[in-house]
Structure 1
Amino acid sequence: MTTTTDRPTDGASPTVPSPAPTGGAPARRRSRGTAAAPYAFVAPAAVLFVLFLALPILYAVYLSFRKVKVSGLGLGKGSHTEVWAGFENYRSSLSDPDFVASVVRVLVYGVILVPTMLGLALLFALLLDAHRVRSKPFSRVSIFLPYAVPAVISSLLWGFLYLPGVSPFTYVTEKLGWGSPDILNSGWVLFAIANIALWGGVGFNMIVIYTALKAIPSDLYEAARLDGATERQIAWRIKVPIVMPSLILTFLFSMIATLQVFAEPMTLKPLTNTIASTWSPLMTVYRNAFIRNDIYSAAALSVVIALATLVLSFGFLRLVQRRAFAQEK
């Protein structure tokens, strides 16, 4: 069977038909649409970030350099005008003895709270990761559950437990003939506030550390047991060094939360006279903004607190990143 092919008889080269159009413009439009798809998904979050975080921060920085100038007796239209203040608000705020005292108080509060909270969180995480522990799901939920309670609610609960007139602990100690200290007096109130934050914060940090422990390969434990290591040695020499990045993360979060403590002392303030309106730096900001109606000094204090938080966080990470994250390299 032969196949015949049509050839030109005059010696001319055969004509090759031109390819059909493939729709280049629609393809380019589709490629541009595909490239822009990620930005479309990110756009809502970016808009919310700009509107509710970036712009308020910039506006607070702007207000921190302004002040109100009162003309005459301060009566009539135009007697109060907003003028440029420079760094006057920052100088007056940083020289305020109430603000300086609140910073010192919060530093002492953090020294008491953060090591205790992280130590208990690490201890609970190691205990839950042990093989001999029973009822692990119930224990995890029981430890984590206080974190789900809002800070205002937990402060109210503990506040009524602290009050001698309604506290069941005071009733029991009186029946047993034991002395019951007044937790809300000036000598114990700092520990009372730290106890509320401790009760609510241990569970969150425990979950973070426990999750890091569950990611460790079990082959390391088996090899250590074959070498004769005890469970305590495995915990101290294997588990703790491996979860050190998680400990650093929880320490950073706890330090930031300590600098921003507000809900606990603000909720306990009506229950006692020992908590001043400037007990913490954020309470000082609240007093200046909503009690003294001085939003300009409040904005300056807010900027100072934000910068201090940023500097401490960045400095801490720079200090520990070489040693703690060396194993990840």
Structure 2
Amino acid sequence: MTTAARRRPYGARSAPYAFLLPATILFVLFFALPIGYAVWLSFRKVHVSGLGLGAHARSEVWADLENYTDALTDSELLHGALRVAGYGAIVVPVMLGLALLLALMLDTDKVRLAPFTRLAIFLPYAIPGVVAALLWGFLYLPDVSPFYYVLERLGLPQPDLLDGGPLYLALSNIAVWGGTGFNMIVIYTSLQAIPAEVYEAAKLDGATPLQIALRIKIPMVAPSLVLTFFFSIIATLQVFSEPTTLKPLTNSVSTTWSPLMKVYRDAFGSGDIYAAAAEAVLIAVVTLVLSFGFLRTANRRNRQEATR
């Protein structure tokens, strides 16, 4: 240790910790403690004595892994996970494909009104999810939707988008409409960071705009694609507002359509916060495992390509 470091006053040494203290307090109060409390509740249950009457007839006891066993064998939670998997199979590739396409189109020299176009594409992301779901929900209703009026006038079939298989497309459309702009901005920002000399060298070699896009731009924005895919997977696993908002408009959306809706129903509908806590912890663990596995695979692939 140098003499200057030994003579540094105590206040200067503790200054970084003082700046970190407010963020640490907020993290502990609003993130760490709620998670710890949810984990604690997931190992508890209510024990009912006799008929459940009286002041001490109900008591909270230790449940070991009973709540987790019930959650893993719950058919409603499993079916909700399968529905979300089908929903994600539509949303993620379509949304990221459109975001990449729009970013590549905006990153050309011939595009006009680029700032206005970027804003127009990004604007749906700024609209709250509940508002967007209500907006599209009324557009899906045959009695109030102008689209159904036009289809009726043209004598064309009028599909019910809130029933059966089309419901997945209706929900996916809301997510794609709202999330494409954000992902496009992320990818477009990465495209803007590519040095112009790379494009000039490719043009001197006779590369066409399509070849530049496929062989230069897309490979160089691969980290941004990984990031947007990572965020999209997390958002898909946590889908809640769209089906919950559309539920009053159709009987095809149950209270357990997605895993988070099942958690909400058990916690606030059935009053079983212990089962809901176990289900929430399982969803968090699955999200963590999938995210960590995907990032690990992507990093391994990047290292392999870098060593070639």
Report TM bin, short chain. over 0.9
Output the amino acid matched with 2:252: T
Q: Are 1:92 and 2:59 counterparts?
A: no
Match for residue 107 of structure 1 among 72, 85, 89: 85
Specify the SS of the correspondent of 1:39.
helix
Specify the SS of the correspondent of 2:9.
helix
Q: CA 1:36/1:327 → structure 2, altered by over 3 Å: closer, same or farther?
A: farther
Determine the structure 1 residue equivalent to 2:157.
179
Aligned 8 A contact 1:245 1:324 in 2:
no
Identity of aligned residues (%): 63
CA distance in 1, matches of 2:184, 2:302: 19
Output the amino acid matched with 1:81: S
Determine the structure 2 residue equivalent to 1:147.
125
Q: Are 1:49 and 2:27 counterparts?
A: yes
Match for residue 314 of structure 1 among 277, 292, 304: 292
Determine the structure 1 residue equivalent to 2:59.
81
Q: Following superposition of structure 1 onto structure 2, how do residues 120-135 of structure 1 map, counting pairs within 5 Å?
A: 120-135=98-113
Q: Following superposition of structure 1 onto structure 2, how do residues 181-196 of structure 1 map, counting pairs within 5 Å?
A: 181-196=159-174
Q: Following superposition of structure 1 onto structure 2, how do residues 221-236 of structure 1 map, counting pairs within 5 Å?
A: 221-236=199-214
Specify the SS of the correspondent of 2:157.
coil
Give the TM-score taking structure 1 as reference length: 0.90
Query: Which has the higher Rg, Structure 1 or Structure 2?
Result: 1
CA distance in 2, matches of 1:68, 1:273: 33
CA distance in 2, matches of 1:103, 1:326: 33
Determine the structure 1 residue equivalent to 2:193.
215
CA distance in 2, matches of 1:165, 1:258: 30
Q: Are 1:274 and 2:252 counterparts?
A: yes
Specify the SS of the correspondent of 1:153.
helix
Specify the SS of the correspondent of 2:219.
helix
Q: What stretches of structure 2 of length at least 5 have no aligned partner?
A: none
Match for residue 60 of structure 1 among 38, 43, 57: 38
Deviations 1:150-209 (A, max 9, x none): 000000000000000000100111111111101101221111111100000000000000
CA distance in 1, matches of 2:302, 2:147: 43
CA distance in 2, matches of 1:282, 1:194: 17
Q: Are 1:40 and 2:23 counterparts?
A: no
Aligned 8 A contact 1:244 1:324 in 2:
no
Output the amino acid matched with 1:108: G
Aligned 8 A contact 1:145 1:203 in 2:
yes
CA distance in 1, matches of 2:274, 2:255: 18
Output the amino acid matched with 1:94: L
Give the TM-score taking structure 2 as reference length: 0.96
Output the amino acid matched with 2:12: T
RMSD: 1.4
- Hey, which of these two has a bigger chunk of helix by percent? 2
Match for residue 166 of structure 1 among 144, 150, 164: 144
Q: CA deviation at 1:327?
A: 6.8
Q: CA deviation at 1:325?
A: 5.7
Q: CA 1:39/1:328 → structure 2, altered by over 3 Å: closer, same or farther?
A: farther
CA distance in 2, matches of 1:32, 1:217: 46
